[in-house]
Amino acid sequence: MNFDIAGFQEVSFVDYNQLNDLFESEEYIQFNAESQLNYKKANQNEDEKFNIDGNSIVIKKGPKIISEGDVKFQVIHLSPVRNCCMLSIIFNGIKVKLKD
């Protein structure tokens, strides 16, 4: 996959990071928003291959992002197993900002 910024929901990234299967992890910065309560455990799912840790935003490293210091990441917990994540960045010289 080749992208600058992507958002992913219902991702496994704690014990096994499935995002690393999608792209070269050295080329991207991951911002992972872990749920307060693991979805699999909360729903007593017995499937060994199933897991949801939370949501993620992934940004490609490079000249379009000035530096990691220009990134602000925020997680909002909507319930013990649901969350959303937000990002403020300077991308291609344009400030994309969370509301203050």
pLDDT in tens, 77-99: 998 888 988 888 877 777 777 66
Return the pLDDT at 68.
Answer: 58
**C-alpha 42: how far from chain center:** 21
Q: How far apart are CA 33 and CA 39, in angstroms?
A: 13
Q: Which residues lie across from 87 on neighbouring strands? A: 73
pLDDT (tens, 9 = 90+) of the chain, 100 residues, equals: 678 888 999 999 988 899 988 877 788 888 999 998 877 777 787 777 788 889 999 888 776 665 556 678 889 999 888 898 888 887 777 777 766 5
Burial of 11 (0-12, 13-18, 19+ CB in 10 A): buried
